[in-house]
Chain A
Amino acid sequence: DTGVSQNPRHKITKRGQNVTFRCDPISEHNRLYWYRQTLGQGPEFLTYFQNEAQLEKSRLLSDRFSAERPKGSFSTLEIQRTEQGDSAMYLCASSPRASGGQGYNEQFFGPGTRLTVL
């Protein structure tokens, strides 16, 4: 399966602990996205990378959140000093390099990492 993969699929942690999630995009996709989905809601955009550059961050991404994509391949999302409000599904997506004349490149989503903060 060459789709977007995310690890771990589930994470339970205690309030105040740090957690890190990993996303492996589809090979050769140069764009990578993180979204957060709380129970009963649609996904909300967190941040976006083109290659290794983080080009856009949502105001939802507080100082406790940091995302990296060091070599333009996989990405990590770290949450420091977790709070109960951080409990959510964290979704990663990737999309290919823009081709000439195409206005939009589909974002392919991974299965998500479900975080529970106790």
Chain B
Amino acid sequence: AQTVTQSQPEMSVQEAETVTLSCTYDTSESDYYLFWYKQPPSRQMILVIRQEAYKQQNATENRFSVNFQKAAKSFSLKISDSQLGDAAMYFCAYIRQGAQKLVFGQGTRLTINP
């Protein structure tokens, strides 16, 4: 069975600085997708960034970028120029190609200090 592990229950960063959230996963599949979702307090979860496993190039979305290491099964999220609005729970998630079930990690609570 596929599993996703986020080893940092909480992280904090000063506003305008850079923070990296870690994620590792376990799968025997070769075709899959990885995601980072953001869940603000009392608000719905939104997709921050996605990475296709077959792509070697790391995905980037504005201030958000990933470091995808397929052999190591590692998928970290880097947030540059942190803003107060980035404060939220962040979940790493995996889905096998052709499947419908997202598998989530335990989450990392990110606090932004002004």
Tell whether, in the assembled complex, residue A40 and residue B44 are in contact, meaning their CB atoms are under 8 Å apart. Answer: no
In the assembled complex, the CB of B56 is this many whole angstroms from the nearest CB of chain A, namely: 16
Q: A42-B91, A104-B33 are in contact. Are A31 and B44 (CB under 8 A)?
A: no
Cα–Cα distance between A35 and B91 once the two chains are bound (Å): 14
Selected from A31, A40, A58, A91, the residue in CB contact (under 8 A) with B106 is A40
In the assembled complex, the CB of B103 is this many whole angstroms from the nearest CB of chain A, namely: 7
Q: Is A107 an interface residue (CB 8 A)?
A: yes
Cα–Cα distance between A111 and B46 once the two chains are bound (Å): 10
Tell whether, in the assembled complex, residue B106 and residue A42 are in contact, meaning their CB atoms are under 8 Å apart. Answer: yes
A interface majority secondary structure: loop
Q: How many residues of B contact A (CB 8 A)?
A: 27
Across-interface contacts of A112 in B (CB, < 8 A): 44
Selected from A45, A103, A111, the residue in CB contact (under 8 A) with B103 is A45
In the assembled complex, the CB of A68 is this many whole angstroms from the nearest CB of chain B, namely: 18
Tell whether, in the assembled complex, residue B100 and residue A44 are in contact, meaning their CB atoms are under 8 Å apart. Answer: no
A15-32 to B contact mask, C-beta < 8 Å, 1/0: 000000000000000010
Closest-by-CB residue of B relative to A103 is B97
Tell whether, in the assembled complex, residue A104 and residue B45 are in contact, meaning their CB atoms are under 8 Å apart. Answer: no
Q: How many residues of A contact B (CB 8 A)?
A: 24
In the assembled complex, the CB of A88 is this many whole angstroms from the nearest CB of chain B, namely: 14
B43-67 CB contacts (< 8 Å) to partner A: 43-47, 50, 52
Tell whether, in the assembled complex, residue A48 and residue B107 are in contact, meaning their CB atoms are under 8 Å apart. Answer: no
Tell whether, in the assembled complex, residue B106 and residue A41 are in contact, meaning their CB atoms are under 8 Å apart. Answer: yes
Q: Is A115 an interface residue (CB 8 A)?
A: no
Q: A40-B107, A42-B91 are in contact. Are A103 and B52 (CB under 8 A)?
A: yes
B80-114 CB contacts (< 8 Å) to partner A: 91, 93, 95, 97-98, 100-107
Tell whether, in the assembled complex, residue B104 and residue A43 are in contact, meaning their CB atoms are under 8 Å apart. Answer: yes
Q: A31-B100, A103-B97, A104-B95 are in contact. Are A3 and B105 (CB under 8 A)?
A: no
Besides A4-B44, A33-B100, A45-B103, 11 other A-B contacts (C-beta < 8 A): A3-B44, A35-B102, A40-B107, A41-B107, A42-B105, A43-B91, A45-B101, A103-B52, A103-B98, A104-B95, A111-B44
Residues of A participating in the B interface, judged by any CB pair closer than 8 Å: 3-4, 31, 33, 35, 40-45, 48, 55-56, 58, 91, 103-104, 106-107, 109-112
